[in-house]
Amino acid sequence: MIYNIHHLHCGSMCPMCAPLFGQKGLKANLVCHCLLIETDRGLVLIDTGLGLQDYLRPQQRLGKLMTKMSAIVSDPYLSAFHQIQKLGFKPSDVQHILVSHLDFDHAGGISDFPHATVHILSNEFNAAQTFSSKNKLRYRPQQFKNHTYWHFLEHEAGEPWFNFQRVQSFNIFKDEILMIPLLGHTAGHCGIAIRQKDQWLLFCGDAYYSHLELDPKYKSLGLNLIERLFAFNNQQRLHSLKAIQTLAQNQTHIDIICAHDPFELQRYSSL
């Protein structure tokens, strides 16, 4: 049973490329939007943002190039570890972590929760062990290589969820939390659908970067360029984005959010 959903601000990045993210000005304002869910099976963290060690030792943990390019705001209190404490919980109360993918700004906090079980598509984990030039930039294995508890899921067609199909064999939360493949940005990118009473929330990770993209009529050369550049498979990315847009147009009662849009985070933080 799900009791409550908290929206966490677990990182800020201000790279000098605002138009590439559908924003005005010079510096982009990107956030690491994560979720903390209170359930009858303990606390569940959806993505982890940047971890404590990413803030305390950024160059050693993330590398000089990535630290400089991302322009990460140095504030350890933005970590999920501290955000959870601020809400009055113990970090050790986090029993499960569901990650959309293992990019450094989504998986950095895994090491802060050593006793939690991390649920992930196996092809995403395998991709993080393959060091192509693009993977060397996006993945930082030191963030999660020493973690003990993993639950690997296969990307197989399961039961339908609106115009998507859920991941099979993920039944821990009695159909109240589902993993929805949204491939393309990475090899095993996955969305997470959360049900609270009669309302669904779909967390899309990096399947899109701006809430403006939920409108299929919206076009941005900058956004298309940066999303294509970061994509593992751009055709899969476009297919996932189109499916998300279809869901947004036809199921207006479903809340849809991504990981880096400050507008979406502010909207929930003000509730």
104-152 residue pLDDT tens: 999 999 999 999 999 999 999 999 998 787 888 899 999 999 999 999 9
Alpha-carbon distances, residue 212 vs 163, 222, 243 (angstroms) = 21, 13, 15
User: Max alpha carbon distance in the chain (Å)?
Assistant: 46
Q: Could you count the other beta carbons within 10 Å of the beta carbon of residue 132?
A: 11
Instruction: Tell me phi and psi for residue 43, to 5 degrees.
Output: -80, 140
- What mean pLDDT comes out for the span 235-254? 97
0.85 surpassed by pTM:
yes
pLDDT interval class at 248 (50, 70, 90): very high
CATH (residue range 2-269): 3.60.15.10
Q: What is the pLDDT of residues 155-206, one digit of tens each?
A: 877 899 999 999 988 989 989 999 999 999 999 999 999 998 889 999 999 9
Q: For the chain, which residues make up each domain, given as ranges? A: 2-269
Q: Are 61 and 53 in contact (CB under 8 A)?
A: yes
**How many whole angstroms separate alpha carbon 59 and alpha carbon 54?**
8
- Separation CA 93–CA 218 (nearest Å): 41
Q: What's the mean pLDDT when you consider all of the chain?
A: 94
H-state helical runs in the chain = 52-56, 58-62, 64-70, 80-86, 104-107, 122-127, 133-138, 221-230, 234-250, 262-269
10 close to 87: Cβ distance less than 8 angstroms: no
Once rounded to an integer, what is the mean pLDDT over residues 7-18?
Answer: 93
- How far, in Å, CA of 27 to CA of 13, rounded? 9
Residue 271 pLDDT > 60: no
Give CA–CA dist 249/253, Å, rounded: 10
pLDDT at 93 over 60: yes
Length of the chain: 271
